[in-house]
Amino acid sequence: MHVVIVGGGFAGIKSALELSKDKKFNITLISDQDYFLHHATLYATATGRSTKESVIKLSEIFAGRHNVEIIKDEITKFNPAKKTVGGKHRDYEYDMLILALGVVTTYFNIDGLEQHCYGIKTLPEVQRFKEHIYDDLVVDGEIDRNYVVVGAGPTGVELAAAMKTYLDEVAAKYAHKKVSVSVSLVEASPRVLPLMPEAASKKVASQLRNLGVKVMTGQKVESQTNDAIIANGKKIPTHTVVWTSGVTNHPFFKKHKKYFEFAPNGRVLVDEHMRALGHVYVIGDNAATKYCGVALTALRDAKFIARHFKRILHSKELRPHNPLRKPVVTVPVGEKWAIIQGRNWRITGRLGAWIRRVAELYNYCNFLPLPKAWRAWREYHVREEL
Q: Is the pLDDT of residue 177 over 80?
A: no
DSSP string, 189-232: SSSSSTTS-HHHHHHHHHHHHHTTEEEEES--EEEEETTEEEET
Say how many C-beta atoms besides its own lie within 10 A of residue 341's C-beta.
24
Please determine, for residue 73, whether its predicted confidence score (pLDDT) is greater than 80.
yes
d(CA 31, CA 28): 10
Q: How confident is the model at residue 181 (pLDDT cuts 50, 70, 90)?
A: confident
Q: Is 12 a residue whose pLDDT tops 80?
A: yes
Please tell me whether residue 251 adopts helix, strand or coil conformation: helix
Q: How does residue 336 score in pLDDT terms, banded at 50, 70 and 90?
A: very high
Residue 208 neighbours by CB distance under 10 Å = 23
pLDDT above 90 covers what percent of the chain?
A: 88
Task: Say whether pLDDT at 175 is over 80.
Answer: no
Q: What is the value of pTM for the model shown?
A: 0.95
**Averaged pLDDT for residues 38-46:** 96
The per-residue pLDDT for 91 is 98
Residue 375 C-alpha from the chain's centroid: 21
Round the average pLDDT of the chain to a whole number and report it: 95
- Cβ pair 39, 55 in contact under 8 A: no
Residue 157's H or E segment, with its range, is helix 154-174
Residues 1 and 310: their CA atoms lie apart, in Å, by 10
Domain ranges of the chain: 2-32+73-105+248-325, 113-244
Quote the CATH superfamily of domain 2-32+73-105+248-325.
FAD/NAD(P)-binding domain (3.50.50.60)
Q: Are 192 and 208 in contact (CB under 8 A)?
A: yes
> Average pLDDT, stretch 185-204?
98
Model pLDDT, residue 142: 65
- Summarize pLDDT for 261-304 with one digit per residue, the tens: 999 999 999 999 999 999 999 999 999 998 999 999 999 999 99
Residue 169 clears pLDDT 90, i.e. is over it: no
What are the distances in angstroms from CA 166 to CA 46, 49, 173, 255? 10, 10, 11, 41
- Yes or no: say if 310 and 166 are a contact pair by the CB < 8 Å rule: no
Q: Residues near 362 by Cβ (< 8 Å), separated by ≥ 6?
A: none
Q: What is the pLDDT of residue 330?
A: 96
Residue 196: pLDDT band (50, 70, 90) is very high
Task: Identify which of 169, 179, 186, 12 has the alpha carbon closest to the alpha carbon of residue 102.
Answer: 12
185 by DSSP, 3-state: which?
strand
Q: How confident is the model at residue 174 (pLDDT cuts 50, 70, 90)?
A: confident
Close Cβ partners of 240 (under 8 Å, ≥ 6 residues apart): 118, 132, 144, 146, 147, 148
Q: What is the CA radius of gyration of the chain?
A: 22
pLDDT band at residue 176, thresholds of 50, 70 and 90?
Answer: low
CA triple 381-246-362, angle to 5 deg: 35
CB 382 within 8 A of CB 52: yes
pLDDT at 141: 66
So what's the pLDDT on residue 139?
72
Is the pLDDT score of 97 beyond 90? yes
Give the model's pLDDT for residue 143. 64
**Residue 140 confidence (pLDDT) above 80:** no
Kindly report the length of the chain: 386
- The answer to whether residues 286 and 102 touch, using CB atoms and an 8 Å cutoff, is yes
Q: What is the DSSP letter of 74?
A: -
Q: Is the pLDDT of residue 10 over 70?
A: yes
pLDDT at residue 136 in the model: 77
* DSSP annotation of 326: S
What class has domain 113-244? alpha beta
